[in-house]
Structure 1
Amino acid sequence: MTTRSDWNAWAANHESARITDWLRAISEPDWSATVNHPLFDALAEGRLAGDDFAAYMVQDYGFVDPFTALIGHAIGHAPSMADRVVLGQFMGMLTSDENSTFQRTFEAFAVPQARREAPDYLPETLAFQALLRDTGHSGGYAEMLAALVVTEWVYLEWALRVTRVEGLHPLMGEWIDLHDNPAFQEFVAWLRRRLDEEAEGLDDAAFTRMAVCFRETVARERAFHDAVMPR
């Protein structure tokens, strides 16, 4: 399901086919299960308790370090200055606006300093962190783009899907806003376009590695959100 011949067969039966659409299709049911995860509905509808939101954010913050490292590797492997500029700008947002949301959430919900500095990460968090690090250290540019497309596109999709209630805690609303705004939508569109373009030029082995990376990243996203969902 992850070879160029698989892509060609799928594209032959889909008008205006895009590689990123095919990658999403072969990542089902994990893709839809993540985008439609009940955690996001609970968050947007004000049914997620403050402590549960803080616990989720502590786990999610564990991705900031390996994720920024992945972006750094992608900047280094990018084939053009144009790509480096876009990725660098996103790195700036991640380390400023998004980092600020995390820190203010920890303060607002009284997350102890020790828990911020040495969190008790879930196994699913650790496994996802390892995937991001491995992709940065040993993946090609297309594989790095594949991981980035998944992490950002999934978050855009769930943020566009949910309906927030009146009176939602401001920080919960801010978390949704970070993933549902014109600049973020434009960045996800750019990531998809660049992955479509890069994938076309890959040899068969590299193409399969890229597709496997995409599917594995989706699977790790689902496993992570299943694990952090309050029981």
Structure 2
Amino acid sequence: MTTRATWNEWASGREAPCITDWLREISEPDWSATVNHPLFDALAAGRLSGEAFAAYMVQDYGFVDPFTALIGHAIGHAPGMADRVVLGRFMGMLTSDENDTFQRTFEAFEVPQSVREAPDYLPATLAFRDLLHDTGHGGSYAEMLAVLVVTEWLYLEWAIRITRAEGLHPLMGEWIDLHDNPAFQDFVAWLRRRLDEEAAGLDDAAFARLAERFRDTVVRERAFHDAVHPR
């Protein structure tokens, strides 16, 4: 299912086939289940309590450190300065604007310092942290891009899908805004384009590993969101 031959068969007859579109398709139904997760509908409608939102953000913040490390590995493995510049700018946003949103959320919803310093991570959170660590330390540049494409593209898709209610808590609205703005849309488009380009030059074995890494990331994203907000 994740071989180059399967991709070639899927691409034949399509006018402008993209590997990232194929990767998304072979990751169903987990892809759509994540994009359409009830957590995001509750968040956008103002039905998510402050306590539930803070608990979700505590778990999600568990990805920031290993995710930042993954980006660092990607910068180091990038083929040239052009990629390093884009990835470096994204790391700058992650460690400034996004990190600040987390910290102000913890303050606003009175998350205890003990929880911030030593969170009780859910098994799904730990599994995703492991994936980020393993990809950074043992994955190819294409595999690192695959994980980044999944994490950022999924978040963009849910953010542009939802309809925000009037009177939403500012920090909840800010969380949505971080994942639905022109700069973020451009970054996701760049990630997809670079993954398409990198994947095209891989040998068959590396291509299969890339596809499996993509699918595994989607599976873990769904598992994480199901864990923090059971259906």
Instruction: Give TM class, smaller chain.
Output: over 0.9
- Aligned counterparts of 1:103 and 1:220: Cα–Cα separation in 2: 25
- Aligned counterparts of 1:132 and 1:213: Cα–Cα separation in 2: 11
Q: Give the length in aligned residue pairs.
A: 231
Contact conserved, 1:52 with 1:230, CA < 8 A, in 2?
no
Aligned to 1:221: 221
Unaligned 5+ segments in structure 1 are none
Aligned to 2:8: 8
Aligned to 2:110: 110
Aligned to 1:170: 170
Aligned to 1:160: 160
Aligned to 2:40: 40
- Aligned counterparts of 1:148 and 1:211: Cα–Cα separation in 2: 13
Following superposition of structure 1 onto structure 2, how do residues 143-222 of structure 1 map, counting pairs within 5 Å? 143-222=143-222
Deviation at 1:13, TM superposition (A): 3.8
- Aligned counterparts of 1:66 and 1:28: Cα–Cα separation in 2: 26
Does 21-30 or 5-14 show the bigger shift? 5-14
The residue type equivalent to 2:16 in the other structure is S
Aligned to 1:82: 82
- Aligned counterparts of 1:65 and 1:219: Cα–Cα separation in 2: 21
Following superposition of structure 1 onto structure 2, how do residues 48-127 of structure 1 map, counting pairs within 5 Å? 48-127=48-127
Change (3 A) 1:38 1:17: same
- Aligned counterparts of 1:137 and 1:183: Cα–Cα separation in 2: 28
TM-score normalised by L of structure 2: 0.99
Question: 1:15-44 CA distances to partner (integer Å, 9 max, x unpaired)?
Answer: 311000000000000000000000000000
The residue type equivalent to 1:60 in the other structure is D
Unaligned 5+ segments in structure 2 are none
Aligned to 1:28: 28
Deviation at 1:230, TM superposition (A): 5.5
- Aligned counterparts of 1:230 and 1:114: Cα–Cα separation in 2: 25
Deviation at 1:14, TM superposition (A): 2.7
Question: How large is the RMSD of aligned CA atoms in angstroms?
Answer: 0.7
The residue type equivalent to 1:57 in the other structure is M
Deviation at 1:156, TM superposition (A): 0.1
Q: Equivalent residue of 2:47, what SS? A: coil
- Percent identical pairs in the alignment equals 83
Runs of 4+ in 1 over 6 A off after TM superposition: none
- Aligned counterparts of 1:182 and 1:84: Cα–Cα separation in 2: 20
- Aligned counterparts of 1:229 and 1:12: Cα–Cα separation in 2: 40
Deviation at 1:59, TM superposition (A): 0.1
- Aligned counterparts of 2:142 and 2:193: Cα–Cα separation in 1: 12
Deviation at 1:196, TM superposition (A): 0.1
The residue type equivalent to 2:65 in the other structure is D
